[in-house]
C-alpha cells in the first residue's frame, strides 16, 4: 500500500509491521534525465516490490532531497547536510513505527546517501523502537552494478522502462559526448575531486546510449527480486539486540 495514495482508514486496516521508505535526491542527471531521477527510481523499486511481495507492505512517501552537495554547480540541484538527512530519516522511521510499521527497509536511489543511511539505520536499530536497514537498488542488480556511472547506462535504462516520458531521447547523443568515463579523479586509490563538475562537463558519467529500455526492465526485475528477498529476511529476523557479554 502506497501511503500517499491511501486514506488513513485504509492504512488502518493493513496488518503488517513492514514498511519501505524510498529516499533519493534532487540533483542534475545530465541534459537528458530529470533532476528527480534518484527518488523517482527508488519509489518505482519500492512500489514494484510491494506489489511482488507475498504479504502487506506499506510504502512511505519518498524523501526527495538528500546528500547531493557534490552536484551543487549544476542548476536545480538541492541538498541537505548528512546531519539533517539522518535526522529526517530517523524521525520519519519513528513515526512509521508509531503505527506498528516498525521493520523498515530504506530504499535508496542515490550513492551520496549511502554512508549516512548506514549510520542512521544502525542508530535507529540500536536506540529506537524500530529495526531499519538500507537497500540501494543499483547495488543489488548483479553484474550490471559495475556500469553504474551517473545518469549513465543504468539510470537511463531504468528511467526508459519506468518513466520513459521523462527521458529526452533527442539529447542522449549530447549526453554521451559530454560524459566522463569514471567517477572522480583517482591518484593512489584516493579521489582528489569533491564536486562532480571537476570531472564531468555535463554531469554525466558513463555512456547513456548503453541503457536500453530492455535493460531497464531487467534492472527493475533484479532490484525487486533482491528487495523481496531482503523483506522476507527482515520480516522473520529476531531484532532484539544481543545482551552485553
Contacts to Zn ion by CB under 5 A: 37-38
- If the CB atoms of residues 17 and 108 are measured against Zn ion, the closer one turns out to be 108
3-state SS, residue 107: strand
Q: Least separation, in Å, of the C-beta of 38 and Zn ion?
A: 4
- If the CB atoms of residues 193 and 235 are measured against Zn ion, the closer one turns out to be 193
Cell numbers 531504468 correspond to 158
- If the CB atoms of residues 130 and 159 are measured against Zn ion, the closer one turns out to be 159
Q: Least separation, in Å, of the C-beta of 150 and Zn ion?
A: 6
- If the CB atoms of residues 82 and 124 are measured against Zn ion, the closer one turns out to be 82
Q: Least separation, in Å, of the C-beta of 25 and Zn ion?
A: 7
Q: Least separation, in Å, of the C-beta of 187 and Zn ion?
A: 25
- If the CB atoms of residues 37 and 49 are measured against Zn ion, the closer one turns out to be 37
What the block records as the C-alpha cell of 9 is: 482508514
Those residues whose C-beta lies under 8 Å from the C-beta of residue 57, and which sit 6 or more positions away, are 1, 16, 18, 19, 20, 49, 50, 231
**Residue 50 in contact with residue 1, Cβ under 8 Å?**
yes
**Residue 204 in contact with residue 151, Cβ under 8 Å?**
yes
Cell numbers 543511511 correspond to 117
Position closest to Zn ion via CB: 38
Euclidean distance between CA atoms 45 and 39, whole angstroms: 10
Q: Least separation, in Å, of the C-beta of 33 and Zn ion?
A: 8
Cell numbers 552485553 correspond to 244
What the block records as the C-alpha cell of 142 is: 548483479
Euclidean distance between CA atoms 169 and 220, whole angstroms: 20
Euclidean distance between CA atoms 100 and 6, whole angstroms: 17
Q: Least separation, in Å, of the C-beta of 46 and Zn ion?
A: 16
- If the CB atoms of residues 97 and 216 are measured against Zn ion, the closer one turns out to be 216
Amino acid at each position: 500500500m502506497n501511503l500517499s495514495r491511501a486514506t488513513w482508514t485504509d492504512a488502518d486496516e493493513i496488518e503488517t509491521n513492514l514498511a519501505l521508505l524510498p529516499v533519493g535526491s534532487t540533483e542534475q542527471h545530465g541534459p537528458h534525465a530529470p533532476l528527480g531521477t534518484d527518488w523517482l527510481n527508488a519509489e518505482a523499486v519500492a512500489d514494484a516490490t510491494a506489489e511482488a511481495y507475498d504479504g502487506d507492505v506499506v510504502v512511505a512517501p519518498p524523501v526527495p532531497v538528500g546528500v547531493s552537495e557534490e552536484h551543487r554547480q549544476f542548476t536545480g540541484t538541492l541538498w541537505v547536510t548528512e546531519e539533517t538527512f539522518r535526522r529526517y530519516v530517523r524521525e520519519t522511521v519513528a513515526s512509521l513505527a508509531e503505527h506498528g510499521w516498525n521493520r523498515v527497509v530504506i530504499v535508496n536511489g542515490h550513492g551520496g546517501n549511502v554512508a549516512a543511511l548506514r549510520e542512521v539505520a544502525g542508530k535507529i536499530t540500536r536506540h529506537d523502537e524500530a529495526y531499519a536497514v538500507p537497500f540501494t537498488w543499483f547495488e543489488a542488480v548483479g553484474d550490471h552494478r559495475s556500469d553504474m556511472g551517473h545518469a549513465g547506462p543504468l539510470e537511463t535504462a531504468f528511467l526508459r522502462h519506468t518513466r520513459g516520458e521523462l527521458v529526452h531521447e533527442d539529447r542522449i547523443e549530447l549526453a554521451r559526448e559530454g560524459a566522463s568515463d569514471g567517477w572522480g579523479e583517482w591518484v593512489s586509490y584516493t579521489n582528489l575531486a569533491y564536486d562532480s563538475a571537476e570531472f564531468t562537463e555535463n554531469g554525466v558519467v558513463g555512456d547513456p546510449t548503453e541503457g536500453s529500455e530492455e535493460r531497464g526492465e531487467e534492472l527493475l526485475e533484479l532490484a525487486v527480486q533482491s528487495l523481496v528477498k531482503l523483506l522476507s529476511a527482515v520480516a522473520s529476523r529476531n531484532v532484539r539486540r544481543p545482551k552485553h557479554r
